[in-house]
Amino acid sequence: MSTQLKDIQHSEANTQALFEKLPQRHKEAEIITAESRSTFQESWARLRKNKYAMTGMYVLIIMIILAIVCPMLSPYNTYTNDLDNTYAAPSAKHWFGTDNLGRDMFTRSWRGVQISLIVGFTAALIDLLIGVAYGGIMGFAGKRLGNAMNKFAEVLYAIPYMLVVILLGVVMGSGLFTIILALSITGWITMSWIVRGQILQLKNQEYVLAAQSMGASGGRILFRHLIPNTLGPIIVTVTLSVPSAIFTEAFLSFLGLGVQSPDASLGSLISSAMSSWTLYPWVMAIPASLLCITMIAFNIFGDGLQDAFDPKMKK
Amino acid sequence: MARYLGGKFVNIIVSLLILATATFFLMKAVPGDPFTQEKAIPPEIKAQIMAHYGLDKPVWHQYLIYMKNLFQFDLGESMKSSNRTVTSIIADSFGTSFKVGIIAIIVSVIIGVYLGMMAALRHKKFIDNFFMFIAVLGISIPSFVVGAMVQYFFGVKFQIFTVAGLEGPLDYVLPVVALSTLPIAFIARLTRSTMLEVLTSDYIRTAKAKGLTPHAILWQHGLRNGILPVVTYLGPMTANVITGSVVVEQIFGLPGLGAYFVESITNRDYTLIMGITIFYAVILMAARFVTDVLYIIIDPRIKISGGVVKK
């Protein structure tokens, strides 16, 4: 036993002899060699490593470009019919074939994608503006006002949006603008709840107290300090609210409550294909695939964005 | 506990009253009435009809009468389908929507939780990636596209199921598939992400150290915590699905609540619109209430004292 102990002591003395004490260089130890990056740069770097999300993003960019360019370059328009050429199969003349009135499906389908994207982005933008402002105030205001605002949002949320859409359609006529307005009336509520939850968590942090003690006004604290700190969840919610708006538009147009003929939306194209697509599959397959591709790309991209902004959740 | 639930209940009643008021005035604010048709009715007859339904009185008076009847659970008479009360229309059509919807929910929970658990167990392996890809598809593909596809392939082409209607038990298969695609995908994703968190926690390691079988660890210890977010999601989802999907009912020709609702709004059938809106809200809020109660039962960490939830 004792010999072992001696061996250890002996070897310790040896190891000590092998090392040399260097003078400490405090200043150099404090130098940060890594490049400083903002939250956004960090998130972007994480997003770029995610192959699925990047694929989704590229598909989306391609869809946006095609939706703008294709209807412009096509020699046909969305409404001229050609009754000698109804239900023509896809060919060199009509790339996606024609529909029951001989209208060019290529032009109509891309016009549909265009409408979907317009509805999706506009509705998401309006949700963002109203939802963030309302949710921010709801979270930051006192308990009584906050609860009253929350109650209002809850009641609005319970009004079926079909009712709003149809009644608005009676007053303003069905169309793109009506749909966007109807979607915006209730669409912002989810966003406002998410922002409220975040603000409630953040408003007891020290930096808010610091800002208050320096005499910052409530509005300044809310918009300069609190909301920038909730940007991650806000961006993710916006990205996921685009496909949900696209879906709702397609769904309403499918029921005939949305975009009206001769204008074309993916939902109305699918709806009018319902009666004839067993004989002429392309009238259904093309708009349905375009809708699904857009939705999948948005959802994959949104998922990736969520992981990028919230690495703790990354599984 | 009783105080907590009582508070929730009062909250629901207040919300319903506000909702009924808001819907009533929203509906009346829009020009038009149920009896304006392409073929004009003689003014005398129209006045008589309006008087029969109380539509000749000022709006606030109509509102008071409606609310008084509502408190007696009387939703009135449909203005378009003559001689039918709103309650009987809702009762008939809700039956159909409920039967299809509840099957869809049960199927979604079983398949969704199973897929999510399997994906979490084989994290970052082929099964995980494959199931999650399927889940993204399920979330992205709209139910009317799924409905049209299954109707064509299984109804028209291979003729395994009937195309529309609800006669025998097999007729439920296609509508249930169309209805449950989205919930399955959503539940699978939710279960997977919660289970991944749960499976790395200390008490699972303890259970492993005690020598429990993987089966017992997963289903008895893991699932109990993994299921909580699913319960939260399930409340509003069930309310949504059992009240009927307009498109799925339209595609498969089911006489459900969704179809009646759209018809009632376009017809401006005031009493039916009000009735269905209130019915939807009751179902939605009841589902939330049940969710809250279930939460307390499943998660013993939630304690209630003095009417306030504490964790």
Residues facing B309 on adjacent strands:
B304
Query: A184 Cβ partners below 8 Å, 6+ apart?
Result: A123, A126, A127, A130
Q: Out of A158, A162, A278, whose CB is closest to B261?
A: A162
pLDDT of residue A314: 44
Residue closest to A195 by CA, chosen among A254, A112, A136: A136
> Can you tell me the ipTM of this complex?
0.81
The helix or strand, by DSSP H or E, that contains position B201, with its residue range, turns out to be none
Quick one: what percent of chain A has pLDDT higher than 70? 92
pLDDT of residue B311: 44
Quick one: what percent of chain A has pLDDT higher than 90? 23
**Coil/strand/helix, residue A104:** strand
Residue closest to A99 by CA, chosen among A279, A228, A220: A279
Q: Out of B140, B152, B266, whose CB is closest to A295?
A: B140
Query: A246 Cβ partners below 8 Å, 6+ apart?
Result: A116, A117, A119, A120, A291, A294, A295, A298
pLDDT, mean of residues A79-101: 78
pLDDT digit string, tens, across residues B9-67: 888 888 889 889 988 988 888 877 777 765 677 888 888 888 888 888 888 888 998 88
pLDDT of residue A145: 93
pLDDT at B305 over 70: no
Distance of CA A181 to the CA centre of its chain: 19
Side chain identity, residue B156: V
- Return d(Cα B286, Cα B20) in angstroms, integer: 16
Instruction: Flag whether residue B228 sits within 8 Å of chain A, measured between CB atoms.
Output: no
A292 and B285 within 8 Å at the Cβ level: the answer is no
Radius of gyration over every alpha carbon of chain A, rounded to an integer in angstroms:
29
Q: Please report the number of interchain residue pairs, chain A to chain B, with beta-carbon separation below 8 angstroms.
A: 98
CA angle A4, A9, A13 (to 5 degrees): 145
* Tokens linked to A189: 């509520």
A166 and B156 within 8 Å at the Cβ level: the answer is no
**What is the third-level CATH fold of B86-298?**
MetI-like fold (1.10.3720)
Q: How many other C-beta atoms are found inside a 10 Å radius of the C-beta of residue B298?
A: 14
**Reported pTM:** 0.82
B272 with B264: CB under 8 angstroms?
yes
Domain definitions of chain B by residue range: 1-72, 86-298
pLDDT of residue A315: 40
Chain A residues bordering chain B (beta-carbon distance below 8 Å):
151, 154-156, 158-160, 162-164, 166-167, 170-171, 243, 247, 250-251, 254-255, 257, 270, 274, 277-278, 284, 288, 291-292, 295-296, 298-300, 303, 313, 315
Instruction: Give the gap in angstroms from C-alpha B144 to the nearest C-alpha of chain A.
Output: 8
Residue closest to A69 by CA, chosen among A113, A119, A116, A123: A113
- CATH class of the domain at A40-69+96-309: mainly alpha
Pick the more confident residue, A57 or B162: A57
Chain B CB contacts of A303 below 8 Å? 136
pLDDT, mean of residues A51-61: 92
Phi, psi of A98 (to 5 degrees): -130, 165
